[in-house]
Each structure stands twice: as C-alpha cells, then as structure tokens.
Structure 1
Amino acid sequence: MGSIRTALVGFGYAGQTFHAPLIAATAGLELAAIVSGNPAKVAPYWPRVPVRAQIGEVLADPTIDLVVIATPNSLHAEQASLALAAGKHVVVDKPFTVALADAQALERQAGASGRVLSIFHNRRWDADFLALSALIRQGALGRVTQFESHFDRFRSERRDRWRERADVAGAGLWYDLGSHLLDQALFLFGLPLSIFVDIATQRAGDGAADYFHALMRYPDGLRIILHGSMLIPDSGLRFAVHGDGGSFIKHGLDRQEDQLKAGLPPGCDDWGVDPLPACLTRPAPDGLRSGPHAGPAGDYRRYYAGVRDAITGDGPNPVTAAEAIQVMQLLALGIESAGQRREIDLSEPV
C-alpha cells in the first residue's frame, strides 16, 4: 500500500510537540489532516496540512487510514470508538482512557473490527530505558531486587491547562506521568503482586494531584518504587536499579522532548542522544567497579514505525490495548490504594 494517510485529532501539547512531528518524520506515514478548533495555531507549524474543525470530517473521509487521538483524556474513549466504528486504525495518546471499562470495551471493538488499536507509550523508546532494558535482558545486573523510577520536575506555579485542574477527569500527575512509569515497569517485570500508592496535592491552590509515590511488590523480593512530583528543585534522579550483579544509576533524560519542543526535526544530529550517561557498578575481583554506561540513542519514531508495520501486516503492534489496559488497572488500583490508605492485592477486584 502507499503512505498511510493519518489524521491527528487535537493540537495541544501532545499533538503539537510529539505526534505531528513524529508522524511526519516516519516513512510510510503521511500527516494528511489535523483536527483543531484553532487553525491559526496550526498554520505556522503545518501550513500545507488541512485543518478540520470536527473529528467527524476526517472519520467521513475514505482516504484517511489512521486516526491519532491526542485530545484530553476524558475524550479518548468516545473519539477512539467513533474512529474504530468508521473503519479507521487508531492510536490513542496515553493513558488510553480514564475508566478501565472503556479501555476494555475499545479492545473488544478493535478486535471485532479487525483494526489496529495502539497506545502511545513512547517512553519505551527513551535512551535510558533502552539501555536499562538491554542490561536487564542480558542479566548484567543479576537478579534485580530494587527498581526505582522517577519523573520529578520543579514547577511551583500551576499552569492553566486541563492536566492540572482538579475538576477534570483523568487529570493529575498519577495519570500523566505515572502511566509512563507503570508502562515501563510492566514491560520489564509484568504485573505485581500488590500495589500501594500515596497521591497528594502539594502546590498551593485547588488543583489536580501533583505528587505520587508507589510501591509495587513482586515475587522473590523484588520491589518497584515509582515516584513523581512537581516540587523537586534539585534531584534529577531517573533510575536507581539494583541487583545482585550490579547497579544502574541514571540522572536526567535524553534530548528528544527538548528537541521536539525546540522544533528540531526527528532524526536530526544528536537526535535522542543522552547527554548524561548512566553509571554502571558491577562486582570485580578487587571489589566494585563503576563507570559510565552509554546506551543507544532514543527514538520515538520507532513507535510510529511499529504502528505502520502493524497496519501493513509487517510487524506486531508496538503497544497493544491489552498492555495499556494493565496500566489502566494499576492506575485504578493506585487511586483506590491512595483513597483507602492501604496496600491493594491484585487478586482483589477493581
């Protein structure tokens, strides 16, 4: 088949910064339309791409093959269902949907329609996570006993956006960044035995939760700690992973998000190169030996290349609905845990 004509629904931060440039930079995909109520915002970035006011316009267009949903979380379920019903393949920005039942219904609908349904968990293609994943697969850290993962930022003032409003379903840091950390942990280790989560609002004012701390318990003593906060002026810790064969300590992120925000094209010089390599410590005959560990460059284009291949039948879906549903299950259990202030066993019904 020719290029997969793709319509992007939503031109907020996710649509503008991530999806539009990544779609346009992926061979075999064509950014054919953008759905936005603000065409003046789109025009400086994509002057040759038609802007449609309503999602129904692209759903009715028989030349559109793929619809990418990058709208607020509360709209994901309805819009993805409409796109599947219109015979389109669908990508949904993380964290898929707000309600677990909606995610499960979409998985069934996609299966019945024979269309690809994929969720944009792009952080699997961060440079640091690619490096860490390879080390764990190779057994370089031995049996992993503690996996600590952080997304900490310092934004003391709330911004006027839906992600930070207390009255918006699916807002808050647990949904926004917690979904990334959960997906990475599940990708490496699968579902835990239990989860305990503390969620709070630490900044002044009546806004969505801006702090979370999660502890997940696994067999054989493995403990996974996931942490996110908007009030960390100085830390930079990304990963602290320990096993009986070594430790992997990582600060900072690769450059992809900053490069995208700066308007640089995906694939440019130094694309996804991590400016601060991890520190790998392993046993040696004379004790412990530490040194920098530079892994491969990150590349979010690999996600969309995977979507392309799944549509053409040349490869697997890069992030399936089933995988994203597991993230949704843990998001829901985390909210239950925080509300009840107790550890939730995964054998309990959601």
Structure 2
Amino acid sequence: MSIPLRCALLGYGYAGKTFHAPLIAAEPGLQLAAVLSSDAARVHADFAGMPVTRDADALFADPALDLVVIDTPNDLHAPLARAALLAGKHVVVDKPFTLTLAEARELAALAAAHGLVLSVFQNRRFDGDFLALRELLAAGTLGQLVQLDSHFDRFRPEVRDRWRERDIPGGGLWYDLAPHLLDQTLCLFGLPASITARIATLRPGGAACDWWQARLDYGAHQVCLQASMIAAGPMQRFAAFGTAGAWFKSGLDMQEDRLRAGGGPRDAGFGLDTIAPRLHLGDDAVGTAQPEPVGDYARYYAGIAQAVAAMKAGDAARAAALNPVRPAEAVALMALLEAGLQSSAEGRVIVPALTDAERAALG
C-alpha cells in the first residue's frame, strides 16, 4: 500500500471547509496534514488535533509536505502559488486561478520548469447535470446543437459584508462564478471565436459585480451564460437546443448541499441529483424525464493524487494526462475572463488573447 501524499490547505473559509477539506480527507491517496488559518478553533471543530499555522512560509519549507492547496481570497492565489512552486511543492489553486492572464502564464511556466503538478479546482466539471449534458451532446441526441444556455443564479438581494462582494481585486460575481460556467463551456467545445459580455452591479448598495451575461461565438452554435444574485424562483440550470430537440435541467447539483450538511463522497447517494432533466424530441411539448444525474466531486482529488504520484515517479507525461485541470486549460480560462472584462468595459466583441502555441496546448 502506497503512503498517502501529505497535503497542506491554505485557507479555511467556506470553500476550504465545505469542499477541499472533506474531499481531501476522503481521498485515500492524500492526507490532510496542516491548515493555514487564523481561526484554529474553526479547524479543530472539524479536525481535532490538526496542526494549524498562520505562517505560509513555514509550510512551504516543510520537506514532508508534497501538495499545497490554496483557498484564500482571490488576490492571494498567484503570490501563494508562486511561492509554493518555488519551494518545490505541487499546487492546487481554487478558482479563479489568478486575477490576470499574465499571472496564469507565469505560474504555468514555473510549474513546467520545475517539473511540478499545477491544477485548478474546477469541481463543477463533476456536477451530475454537466456530466449528463456532456454525454447527451456526445451521443448526438439533439442533432446539431444550435444554442446552449447555462445559468448559475441566486436570490440574495441584500449585500453582505464579505470580501467576495467588495469592490476589490478579484471581488464580485464575474470572478466568482464565471470561472465555473466558462470552464464547462471550454470542456464541451474548446475555445470560442469570441466573447461578448455585459457585467454590472444591480443591487442597491452593491459595490461589486452581482450580475453578468456572456455570449460565446462558436459559429454553428452559440453559448449564452448568465449569473445573477437577484434571480428569484427556480433556476433553469441548462437549456440545450438542437435540430432534433431540446434538453432542460433545473436546479443545482446537490453535492455542495450535502457537503455543507456534513456529508461526504463516501455516503450512499452522495452524488445523486434528484431533479431529473427533461428531453423534448421534435415538437414534443411534454417531453420525457431522463435518468437522474450522478455527480462525483471525489474524482478531482483522486486525479490529483494520481498525477502527483506519477510526477514523483518521474513520469511527467502520465502526470499531465491524469491532471484533472491542466495549466493550459487554466490559462485559456483566464484569457476568457480577461476578454469578458474588456468586452464589458468597451462594449464590443473580443477575441481571446491566446498565442498559437497556447491554442495548440489547449487541444
């Protein structure tokens, strides 16, 4: 039996507590060995006796640590990832990867130069509804796709005093939720020809973006994305339209709710989404219920454990193949994020600023 890779979690806010810590703890190939936090009591309530420190440099200097997972405010992602890579640690960064395309390129080059695994935590690749949509499109059930609508809406009309809702670098809904929807779109279709975005602050008293829409042009089909903090009622998560029919899915994948309630990926039915999609073929207005989707967030850290083990064994090609989110994909996503910001600011269509080599690496 192989020895689990020792992992340090930098940050124990909502995402660290809800996603990273329980998913790392459930992965046999990883051991959560230390946490960077200013609130040791919060960590110890979940992991009694866990070493907790406020000194990131001390963690980076620990030769026993293999992997660093960064879940801090967004503006700290790049500097902490840079320091960890320079210290010889494999790195996972929560989304968004960085705040700029230049930072993303720097970190990707640094990881490659030092022979280290670098990945971005994109758990929504393993949402049940997204996996079901991916299978549906691959099967050609809808004929030729002409339009995909993807929403991630919430109803939070009151502005809260937290860093995600402040007008600071990396704050606002564009950096919070656009990485999810853009990453899913990249997984399905690759890089679009262009992006047109509108980013706004609509809530009274709001300081940061709390609403956005983006259209990605793929020529033969269009992708329309939206996130809002002021959308009451049931959320239409996906609507896919093709020449043979349409597919609709409402509600959000339930794995986050189960993790927040203290569940884990080893629990029976953990990944089951009880809201079934509906498929409409031809002009059938009623449609038929499809199988309930099953998500699997555990796949992310299973892939990370395998990728780091392969890199430590000297097999860089295998490590790259096992990495759930490759640096090239993370760089492409940052290009789309920047292009969306530019599009909204200038009111025009923007082509993502990737080089030919970066486009080839994306595949």
Residue 56 of structure 1: CA displacement?
1.1
- Inter-partner Cα distance in structure 1 for 2:289 and 2:49: 45
Unaligned runs of 5+ in 1: none
Q: Count matched residues.
A: 345
Tell me the residue number matched to 2:349.
343
2:109 is the counterpart of 1:108: yes
Higher mean alpha-carbon deviation, 124-133 vs 205-214, is at 205-214
Tell me the residue number matched to 2:231.
232
**Cα shift readout 1:242-274 (whole Å, capped 9, x = no counterpart):** 111221100001211101111112221220211
* TM-score of the two chains, using structure 2 as the length reference: 0.92
Contact 1:282 1:289 in 2 (8 A): no
Residue 342 of structure 1: CA displacement?
1.4
- Inter-partner Cα distance in structure 2 for 1:194 and 1:265: 39
2:288 is the counterpart of 1:291: yes
Contact 1:283 1:289 in 2 (8 A): no
Contact 2:126 2:297 in 1 (8 A): yes
Cα gap change, 1:289 to 1:202, in 2 (>3 Å)? closer
Residue 41 of structure 1: CA displacement?
1.6
Aligned runs of 1:23-38 on 2, under 5 Å? 23-38=24-39
Tell me the residue number matched to 1:139.
140
Tell me the residue number matched to 1:5.
6
Contact 2:335 2:354 in 1 (8 A): no
Cα gap change, 1:341 to 1:35, in 2 (>3 Å)? same
Letter in 1 for 2:304: V
2:181 is the counterpart of 1:184: no
Letter in 2 for 1:305: A
Contact 2:339 2:353 in 1 (8 A): no
RMSD (Å) for aligned C-alpha atoms = 1.6
- Inter-partner Cα distance in structure 2 for 1:44 and 1:204: 37
Aligned runs of 1:55-134 on 2, under 5 Å? 55-134=56-135
Residue 305 of structure 1: CA displacement?
0.5
* TM-score of the two chains, using structure 1 as the length reference: 0.95
Residue 296 of structure 1: CA displacement?
4.2
Unaligned runs of 5+ in 2: 311-317, 356-363
**Cα shift readout 1:67-125 (whole Å, capped 9, x = no counterpart):** 00000110011100111111111000011000110010000000001010000011000
Letter in 1 for 2:74: N
Letter in 2 for 1:280: L
SS in 2 for 1:44: helix
Residue 16 of structure 1: CA displacement?
0.9
Residue 206 of structure 1: CA displacement?
4.1
Tell me the residue number matched to 1:263.
262
Residue 295 of structure 1: CA displacement?
4.7
**Cα shift readout 1:183-236 (whole Å, capped 9, x = no counterpart):** 00011001111111011101111421000011111122x110000000011131
**Cα shift readout 1:121-172 (whole Å, capped 9, x = no counterpart):** 1100001001000111111222111010000000011222111101x10111
Cα gap change, 1:273 to 1:113, in 2 (>3 Å)? same
Partner residue of 1:307 out of 296, 304, 308: 304
Tell me the residue number matched to 1:199.
199
Letter in 2 for 1:331: L
Higher mean alpha-carbon deviation, 100-109 vs 239-248, is at 239-248
Cα gap change, 1:295 to 1:113, in 2 (>3 Å)? farther
SS in 1 for 2:265: coil
Aligned runs of 1:318-337 on 2, under 5 Å? 318-337=324-343
- Inter-partner Cα distance in structure 2 for 1:208 and 1:45: 32
SS in 1 for 2:59: helix
**Cα shift readout 1:41-69 (whole Å, capped 9, x = no counterpart):** 21111113211121112111111100000
Tell me the residue number matched to 1:281.
280
- Inter-partner Cα distance in structure 2 for 1:158 and 1:79: 29
Cα gap change, 1:37 to 1:278, in 2 (>3 Å)? same
Partner residue of 2:323 out of 313, 317, 324: 317
SS in 2 for 1:43: helix
Cα gap change, 1:70 to 1:241, in 2 (>3 Å)? same
SS in 1 for 2:45: coil
- Inter-partner Cα distance in structure 1 for 2:264 and 2:353: 46
SS in 1 for 2:322: coil
SS in 2 for 1:212: strand
Letter in 2 for 1:189: F
Aligned runs of 1:136-175 on 2, under 5 Å? 136-166=137-167, 168-175=168-175
Cα gap change, 1:52 to 1:192, in 2 (>3 Å)? same
Residue 37 of structure 1: CA displacement?
1.3
SS in 1 for 2:63: coil
- Percentage of matched positions with identical amino acids: 49
**Cα shift readout 1:29-49 (whole Å, capped 9, x = no counterpart):** 111111111112211111132
